[in-house]
Amino acid sequence: MIIRDSADLCYPHLYNNSCKKPSLPWTEVVPVQITLALISMITVALNLLVIISVSHFRQLHTPTNILLFSLAVSDLLVGFISMPGEIYQNTSCWFLGDNICFLYNYLCYIIPSTSVGDMVLISIDRYVAICDPLHYQTRVTKRRVKVCVCLCWLCSVVYNILFLKDDLIQAGWNNSCYGECVTAVDLISGTFYLVFTFFAPVTIIIVLYMKVFVVAVSQARAMRSHITAVKLQHSVKTIAKKSELKAARTLGVLVVLFLITFCPAYCVYLAGVESFSDSSVFAVDFLFYFNSCVNPVIYALFYPWFRKTVKLIVTLQILKPGSCETIIQSIN
């Protein structure tokens, strides 16, 4: 019979049903949690800059930027909810109750699902812009993109409740002891979740961007080739704008990093978390969270408009009357 010290329990008065407090040595926990906390704050700050930029400056209200706005919102929620929740669970017992536990897990399902949906929409946007430039302006309008973004969030909210319906009916039923916050789905539900949230979207993203890459390369070669003025006049109508090609390259980097950071996490959970060490699981979780921090960095590196809007925001020039009408150069 194992005798436990009540001081090591989350709820000492519930001796037989209480979970044990996290017992990892502080030399391992503190550096990791400080790193996660810093990444969390940076993630919130950078994505907030993206959200303010796109929402405040009227010239940035383009279909592509609306998609980036939605992605920034989901990334901000990762830094504001998912990362702090991860820190809290690894350093303390869960004292917030079963209902808050359900809400936290539910949000942690919604956020990545929405990010995946945003990436699919971004891939479709670039596919139409590069492969069918003549109809891009009429097919991809701000109104349609806003509707698609709203549907993406709505479907994610409704879709994920199906996998957590048991927790909704009876919150905390997966917990083996008091002071724990876990959730689980059955094999069939987990399989459907992986197919619709991972395999199908990733397949669509890869196929669309492979087509975009092939067309973009051929168009770039056509632009560089020495052709007659007559041929140029006929072909320029069917070649995407140079700015669209540049946007495709930039968003291509975004998509590639998304796949690099998201795929390991899904693969680990597909194989079974119990098959990997705690350090391996933490590594893929860290990579998963880090994606939300690195996205705004990509905008800063590749988009001059983002660097200019950040300067205007930081210097509080956006508080001036009429600042929303400021002309932002080099959009997309």
Number of domains the chain contains = 1
Residue 60, CB-side half-sphere exposure with 13 Å CA sphere: 25
Q: What is the dihedral of CA 286, 253, 110, 128, to 10 degrees?
A: -170
Q: Is residue 2 part of a domain?
A: no
pLDDT band at 313 (very low <50, low <70, confident <90, very high): very high
E strand or H helix at 48: helix 26-56
Q: Is residue 103 part of a domain?
A: yes
Instruction: Give me the phi and psi of 172, to 5 degrees please.
Output: 85, 10
Could you please report the per-residue DSSP string of 240-276?
Answer: PPHHHHHHHHHHHHHHHHHHHHHHHHHHHHHH-GGGS
Residues of the chain above pLDDT 70, percent: 81
At 113-172, the pLDDT tens digits run: 999 999 899 989 988 988 888 888 889 999 999 999 999 999 999 988 888 877 777 776
Q: Residue 237, Cβ neighbours under 10 Å: how many? A: 8
Residue range of the domain that includes 55: 24-320
Domain of 301: which CATH number? Answer: 1.20.1070.10
Q: What is the pLDDT of residue 305?
A: 87
Token pair for residue 130?
């590069």
Q: Is residue 6 part of a domain?
A: no
Q: Is residue 100 part of a domain?
A: yes
Q: What is the pLDDT of residue 2?
A: 45
* Residue 316 zone, left/alpha/beta (φ > 0; ψ -120 to 50; rest): left
Q: What is the pLDDT of residue 168?
A: 73
Spatial separation of the C-alpha atoms in residues 86 and 88, rounded to whole Å: 5
Token pair for residue 113?
């699902």
pTM for this model (two decimals): 0.84
Q: Is residue 61 part of a domain?
A: yes
